[in-house]
Amino acid sequence: MDLKYLFEPKTMAVIGVSSANDRHPANVIFAKNNNRYPVEVFAVNPKGGKLHDEEIYPRVADIPKKIDLAVIATRAELVPDVMADCIKAGVKSGIVISGGFTEGGRKDLQDRMVSMAKEASFPFIGPNCLGVYVPFKVDTFFLPIERMIKPEPGGVTFVSQSGGILVDHIIKFKEQGVGMAKAISIGNKALIKEKELLAYLVRDPATKVIAYYIEGFDEGEGRDFVLAADRSPKPVIIMKSGKTPAGNRAVSSHTASLAGDYASFSAAIAQHNILEAANESELVSFCEVLSSYTKPIEGKIGIITGSGGHGAMTVDACSLNGIKVPELSVELKAEIKKNLTENIQAIAALGNPADLTGSSIDEDFVACAKAMSASTEIDCVIVLLLPYIPGLTLDIGVKLSSVSKQFNKPFIAYVPQVEKYNMLIEGFELNGIPVAPSIEGAVLMAKALVRKKSC
């Protein structure tokens, strides 16, 4: 099946629009795509009529153009017949927004859709989903445009069984400066599942990192997916629910998935080239850092700070995550010290972390970063920046980014993320250096680089 038209449609039919209710999900989808995206959109409802001077076609076959993507938002019992009409009219792909299928006890309706779609090689996403969001191309989320928060275009594609979890992470990606290539809500994943999307995304030039929120698999499906993900040339990250008996029940009622034995699933992931995110913070951190760096590291972390307390907390966080913070050699300490400003030479504590104190200036951070970057003792530098240190300027992000590029060594920054410090943060992010809003987030980014194996 060709999944291209799910993500790059030139023409779209939205089936189930209402001439009387502009808040109907189909109307929201129609309006936002009709006005804001480069896709030609057609409204469909058996009653026909008008929608704000736009014609409503009774059937997809009545539309005067061939349709790349049909978005179906009708009552569940009508969906199989609507899909049959789409297939007969030569529609190339579909998204079924409607709920009320296997998760609502109507497995027969879902089975009918899958059977006819397989026979016709008609790819569809859903049912019981939001569908797809691709920046500047298409958006089938039935969320009013004024309530949507959209991250910048970037390299992360996030596939989720839950539309709510997906939208939450879109907001988190926006807040943390993580760019998205695609957001895909698959709901009951009746036909197109994680494995089929993986096969498409590994060939998608816009996608650098592939992340999944998974509730469960059908029998045998999980093993096939894990083996496919292991062969992926791109990083694959999984966050799973259904880890407890109570969570299992919640998963079953949500998307009718079989959560299965979580311990066995987690153990299987750990043996393959897949990252498991334990929670939302890990997922966002993993996505951000893997968008910037593709090479794995051994995990010899150098820490540069202006606050001894921040440095100590970072060492603890590294240790708890199994990451090494090696003691620096006498030679490396001497190299750092000789390049610091005279005042800081006398008071800096040059272990690891290297505490440059609150009297440091930009040049001290740059000198320490250069020495660590040039050394084989360190393969990743975490910089803890407190923008309220008097001697630091808002240009420090740009200056340290230049060091990272010069030595081709990954840098990760911690900066308190408030509007006042945006210029500093942008100095890193515009140069591809990931920035965490917490010490724990910075360490999680390093953890992702340590755990990632060569593909």
pLDDT in tens, 183-240: 999 999 999 999 999 999 999 999 999 999 999 888 888 889 999 999 999 999 999 9
If you average pLDDT over residues 400-422, what whole number do you get?
94
Question: Do 400 and 356 belong together in one domain?
Answer: yes
Q: Are 353 and 382 in contact (CB under 8 A)?
A: no
335 within a domain of the structure (yes/no): yes
- DSSP label at 151? P
**Beta bridge mates, 411:** 381
Question: Do 161 and 288 belong together in one domain?
Answer: yes
pLDDT of residue 255: 54
Question: Do 156 and 125 belong together in one domain?
Answer: no
Q: From CA 207, how far away is CA 234, in angstroms rounded?
A: 8
Question: Do 281 and 301 belong together in one domain?
Answer: no
77 within a domain of the structure (yes/no): yes
Task: Report the percentage of the chain scoring pLDDT > 70.
Answer: 95
170 within a domain of the structure (yes/no): yes
Over residues 11-70, the pLDDT tens digits come to 999 999 999 899 999 999 999 999 899 999 999 999 999 998 899 999 999 999 999 999
What tokens does 450 get? 């340590």
- Domain total for the chain? 3
- Select from 275, 292, 309 the last residue of a domain: 292
Question: Do 244 and 327 belong together in one domain?
Answer: no
Question: Do 264 and 123 belong together in one domain?
Answer: no
Q: Which domain holds residue 338?
A: 295-451
Q: Smallest Cα–Cα separation from 291: which of 138, 450, 429?
A: 429
Question: Do 272 and 312 belong together in one domain?
Answer: no
157 within a domain of the structure (yes/no): yes
Length of the chain: 455
Question: Do 6 and 118 belong together in one domain?
Answer: yes
Question: Do 156 and 300 belong together in one domain?
Answer: no
The SS3 assignment for 132 reads strand
Domain CATH for 72: 3.40.50.720
Question: Do 319 and 234 belong together in one domain?
Answer: no
What strands lie across the sheet with 380-384, from one edge to the other? 349-350, 354-355, 301-305, 380-384, 411-414, 435-436
Whether the predicted pLDDT of 267 surpasses 90: no
Q: Are 213 and 241 in contact (CB under 8 A)?
A: yes
Q: Smallest Cα–Cα separation from 229: which of 273, 267, 185?
A: 273
Question: Do 113 and 170 belong together in one domain?
Answer: no
pLDDT classification of 257: cutoffs 50, 70, 90 = low
Task: Report the percentage of the chain scoring pLDDT > 90.
Answer: 84
Question: Do 176 and 262 belong together in one domain?
Answer: yes
160 within a domain of the structure (yes/no): yes
142 within a domain of the structure (yes/no): no
